[in-house]
A and B are shown apart, each in its own frame.
Chain A
Amino acid sequence: MIPPRFKTGDRVRVMKSYPPGHLRTPYYIRGCEGEVERLCGAFPNPEELAQMRDGLPAQPLYRVRFRQSEVWPDYRGAAADVVEIEIYQHWLEPA
């Protein structure tokens, strides 16, 4: 397993990249900044599983919390609204 780089409360930014292949990082969240809500564990890398390889060592997976108003420029809901997305460590950088 790859050691976790982040802990709850850390500010992180999602890598803004659009490679081909099977990804578990939604398009709309790439490039956004959020806060680690929790470490969910570590799992084989789905990008590698999609090519029928073992995806090891396991990648830490985090639940990351984003402010809706920062994700959607035209967001009109409450300022406290958030969206939480599970993102693998290799898509995150310290913000």
Chain B
Amino acid sequence: MGGQPAGRIEPTEHDYEDWERRVDAMAVLLWGLKGTKRLCTVDEHRRAIESLPPKAYDTMSYYERWVMALAQCLLQRGVITTEELARRMAGAAGSRSRHDMGGLPAKKVEPSEHDYADWERRVDALAVLLGFMKILSVDQRRKNIEALPPEAYDALSYYERWVMSLAQSLIQRGVVTSAEIARKMLEVEKRDPA
């Protein structure tokens, strides 16, 4: 948010809750003490914090962001499973993911025929190929579609969601780097629009 308009910062002293201390301790332990196994890096943790949907980012407190991000890191690393986390979280309130809209009020579905743009066909082909080459599972593609911030999920078209998800997945799998995508995006931007 560097450079964005903001209110005045009011510094206040405050003590930490026990759960906040525990989250901090857990993070330090996972980052790895000398001679112990590193189960999460600071940058992985940062990446997970930065991937929080904007509304969640704004409403959560500092250590709430930390604990959400740690959960994501531990799931990705396979230190814990979604099942284990689900059991521990049973009974706690939770929010609905944007894609999981069963039962919500909705407008009438108007079926219409439409053709696909060339780029959409290419995105589809790319996803099928990555699946065929065992680089990407359908479930990982779904996971990254479901992880889109709600605002993005609503604004993007079907294959725009796919291509965003593919990019995330390929970065996660180490097939491409963020820097490679950054360079390619600059190249595309410079292309003659005609």
Contact = CB atoms under 8 A, between A and B. Distances in A.
Interface of A: 15-23, 26-29, 45-53, 71-72, 90-91
Interface string B91-106: 1111111001011000
Of the listed residues B81, B97, B173, the one surrounded by the most CB atoms of chain A closer than 10 A to its CB is B81
Main secondary structure of the interface of A (DSSP, over half): loop
Contact of B137 (A16, A49, A91): A49
B122 interface: no
A47 B82 contact: yes
Nearest 3 A/B pairs, CB to CB: A18-B94, A22-B143, A47-B82
Contact of B82 (A19, A26, A28, A29): A19
B75 interface: yes
Given A19-B85, A21-B72, A45-B81, 20 more contacts: A15-B86, A17-B90, A18-B96, A19-B82, A19-B89, A19-B94, A20-B68, A20-B75, A21-B75, A21-B82, A22-B82, A23-B82, A26-B102, A27-B100, A27-B102, A28-B102, A29-B102, A47-B82, A52-B136, A52-B172
Given A17-B89, A21-B75, A90 B83 contact: yes
B72 A20 contact: yes
B176 to A, nearest CB: 15
Interface of B: 68, 71-72, 75-76, 78, 81-83, 85-87, 89-97, 100, 102-103, 136-140, 142-143, 146, 172-173
15 contacts: A17-B86, A17-B87, A17-B90, A20-B72, A20-B82, A21-B85, A22-B82, A22-B142, A29-B102, A47-B83, A48-B81, A50-B139, A51-B76, A52-B140, A52-B173
Nearest to B85: A19
Contacts, number: 87
Contacts of B100: 26-27
Contacts of B143: 21-22, 50-51
B85 to A, nearest CB: 4
A15 B137 contact: no
Contact of B97 (A27, A47, A51, A53): A27
B139 A46 contact: yes
B89 A50 contact: no
Given A26-B100, A50-B142, A19 B137 contact: no
